[in-house]
Structure 1
């Protein structure tokens, strides 16, 4: 079903792959793109991929939605993980593209139950590994 505000639909594969990341930890990250008025899976990063691999998968001139499963150890030496949602809209984007991305973001997040933290980034520095780490604690 399309989003009334943006006309954007969410492909069923997006939901399925997100559930696999959340429940089975099959992926470290998933990158989604808007294609033909629909949000679709663009790239799946396996469990062995790094945060650097993830950021390299985001284009410098197009918006993307992404989820990243961040594993970390607490001060009490407990293994934890948190699922980040990142709305990537580079500064170089045209205003119309940014508006389409922004208008579909909330629906996409609602369809992806289990997101624990959100970041909106227009520049790589706004989603550095240090920021991810600090937001997880």
Structure 2
């Protein structure tokens, strides 16, 4: 999970995790603060394993409008570092990042 530094001058790592299921990860998204997330999504459907790298731009409805605009305009600076992303999601609420949306 990535965020902007306190002075908004650079993108920094906010939080990392390994071996967490998707639902636990989703509940870590802040309710009023923007974040960018790169998640290795693993799914098992019809007996087949599927992996895909998901990039999420998290901009909750309750977030500060100026911060939301700053995160939106800074997204590509981070996104271009992850060439293997197969799903790109702009999310404002938990429904936007549901397993069904990603899967």
- Asked whether the two chains share a fold, i.e. TM above 0.5, the reply is yes
Aligned with 2:12 (options 40, 46, 53) = 40
Equivalent in the alignment of 1:54: 25
Cα distance between partner residues in 1 of 2:86 and 2:99:
17
Aligned with 2:74 (options 96, 100, 104) = 104
Structure 2, unaligned stretches of length 5 or more? none
Cα distance between partner residues in 1 of 2:64 and 2:48:
44
Equivalent in the alignment of 2:44: 73
The DSSP-based 3-state class of the residue aligned with 1:87 is: strand
Note the aligned Cα RMSD (angstroms).
1.4
The DSSP-based 3-state class of the residue aligned with 1:97 is: helix
Structure 1, unaligned stretches of length 5 or more? 1-30
- 1:1-137 to structure 2, matched below 5 A, reads 31-35=1-5, 36=7, 37-47=9-19, 49-73=20-44, 75=46, 77-133=47-103
Deviation at 1:74, TM superposition (A): 5.0
Q: How many residues align?
A: 101
